[in-house]
Amino acid sequence: MKVDKQKKPVNSPLMEVFDVMFIMLLCFVILLSTMLMRGKVLVGSGSTGGMDYSFNLPIFLMLVLALAIYLVYVFSSSNKELKAMINNLYSEVHKKGDKKVS
């Protein structure tokens, strides 16, 4: 009896390093652009000291909308992947169970 195992995709270490560095670069760019737009540094500048944060309702609503769209996309694609995985696993089990071993 021969069992065929599916091969798992193997990511190269170089690609993983690239992924990590890319995310770190994005975080740095976002933090730097925020500081430059505000015109202050994190520890404060002179007598004004610190950053002053303000609440902007339109920007907050755009952020919430973007987050909601992202979560809907992630949940729907995850649900599709889960259904496909369950179908693959249980269809193999039912096929093996249907075969009679002599």
Q: What is the pLDDT of residues 2-44, one digit of tens each?
A: 555 666 666 788 888 888 899 999 988 888 787 777 665 555 5
Tokens of 57: 């309702």
Same domain membership, residue 48 and residue 16:
yes
Tokens of 78: 């995850």
Same domain membership, residue 72 and residue 48:
no
Same domain membership, residue 65 and residue 29:
no
48 close to 40: Cβ distance less than 8 angstroms: yes
Given this model, what pLDDT does residue 12 score? 82
pLDDT bracket for residue 68 (50, 70, 90): very high
pTM over 0.85: no
The parent domain of residue 47 ranges over: 10-53
Same domain membership, residue 48 and residue 24:
yes
Torsion of CA 39, 40, 42, 43, to 10 degrees: 170
Same domain membership, residue 96 and residue 66:
yes
Same domain membership, residue 46 and residue 65:
no
